[in-house]
Amino acid sequence: MSTMTRSKIAVTALAAASLAFALLAGGPAVAAQAADKPLIGLTFDDGPSPQRTAFVLDVLKQKGVKATFFLEGSHAQQYPDLVRRIKAEGHVIGNHSWDHANFPDITQAAQKQQIDRTNNAIKAATGEAPKLMRFPFGNSTSYSLNYIKTIGMTGGILWRWHIGQPGDFECPGAAGVQKYVMDEAAPGAIILLHDAEDVLSCPSSQWTYLAKTIDALRAKGYEFGVVAPSTRANPLNEGSPAVVVAP
């Protein structure tokens, strides 16, 4: 998607310089941060759910991975303890509407309500309103995009879907989900996954994909980051105004 060679050389040089400085300063925490690797952003939509969110959090904690969770407000209101746990364990929380409405099909007043109610539910649980918006089905409207800007939010956050393998919500099994993620993997890629709604009907054996896929990505030299706002459209992730950054 872009000419990476010059950028990689610059990043490698910067990383080496930073590492040298950190080692001279005797700061192990700084040194650990200086070892740059290409980042992948795992994102989980539709939760939280009592059936799967805790499991996902357990795996992420075991593997030392931070991710981004785009929550439905109705679920956040129903399961505030899970919302608090997501935040307490260092993950980023975003808005995914109140009940997964398709924004082009509803009125402007309803769009505003979907956004506001979800922000309020998340803030009630964590004390902080989200800064990121991912619209259901990836479908925004000009009104909703303008509105979220007025309240200091960034969206809509999409994902990398260039190869087009079946996603986890289509129940392709553990191997199928892993193949989908590995095919879409690229430095800075935002990966679409789910921890509620459609995936709850998939066989429980499918969930073994998560730990295995994290290991497989690390074996290819990747590390994991979280989604952050950007002032530029990101062509890698369907023009999303977002980047993947270190937690």
Query: Is the omega angle on the peptide bond into residue 90 within 30 degrees of 0, that is, cis?
Result: no
Run of H or E residues at 132: strand 132-133
Q: Which of 19-23, 64-68, 147-151 has the lowest mean pLDDT?
A: 19-23
Spot the catalytic one: 96, 100, 194, 195: 194
**Coil vs helix vs strand at 167:** coil
106 and 83 in a single domain? The answer is yes
- 32 has a pLDDT exceeding 90: no
Instruction: Name which of 75, 78, 74, 91 is nearest 128 in CA terms.
Output: 91
Beta-carbon count within 10 A of 34 CB: 18
pLDDT tens, position by position, 207-238: 999 999 999 999 999 999 999 999 999 999 99
Mean pLDDT of all residues in 153-159: 97
Catalytic residue (one of 36, 45, 183, 215): 45
The neighbouring-strand residues paired with 226 are 245
143, pLDDT greater than 70? yes
At 36 the pLDDT is: 87
Contact 171, 203 (CB under 8 A): yes
Query: Do 20 and 67 belong together in one domain?
Result: no
Average pLDDT over residues 53-69: 98
Distances (CA, A) of 212 to 24, 163, 218, 243: 37, 20, 10, 24
* Least confident segment among 23-32, 63-72, 73-82, 129-138: 23-32
What mean pLDDT do residues 97-126 have? 98
Residues 25 and 47 in one domain: no
200, 79: one domain: yes
* Separation of alpha carbons 229 and 240, rounded Å: 9
Q: How many domains does the chain have?
A: 2
- 100 tagged catalytic: no
> Are 12 and 113 contained in the same domain?
no
Do 135 and 215 belong to one domain?
yes
99 is catalytic: no
DSSP codes, 47-105: ---TTTHHHHHHHHHHHT---EEEE-HHHHHH-HHHHHHHHHTT-EEEE--SS---GGG
One domain for residues 93 and 41: yes
| pLDDT, mean of residues 73-80 | 98
CATH of the domain at 85: 3.20.20.370
Residue 73 has pLDDT above 50, yes or no: yes
User: Are residues 14 and 71 both part of a single domain?
Assistant: no
18 shares a domain with 135: no
Distance CA 157, CA 69 (A): 12
Residue type, 180: Y
Quick one: pLDDT at residue 64? 98
Average pLDDT over residues 53-76: 98
| pLDDT digit string, tens, across residues 168-200 | 999 999 999 999 999 999 999 999 999 999 999
Instruction: Say if residues 148 and 115 touch (Cβ distance below 8 Å).
Output: yes
Question: What mean pLDDT value characterizes the chain?
Answer: 88
Both 87 and 172 in one domain: the answer is: yes
| 35 has a pLDDT exceeding 70 | no
Q: Give whole-number Cα distances, 40 to 12, 45, 179, 187, 198, in Å.
A: 18, 16, 15, 6, 24
DSSP letters spanning 188-246: T-EEEEESSGGGGGS-GGGGGHHHHHHHHHHHTT-EEEEEEEEEEEEGGGTTEEEEEE-
Same domain membership, residue 17 and residue 139: no
Residues 215 and 154 in one domain: yes
Range of the domain at 185: 37-245
The pLDDT, as a whole number, for residue 68 is 99
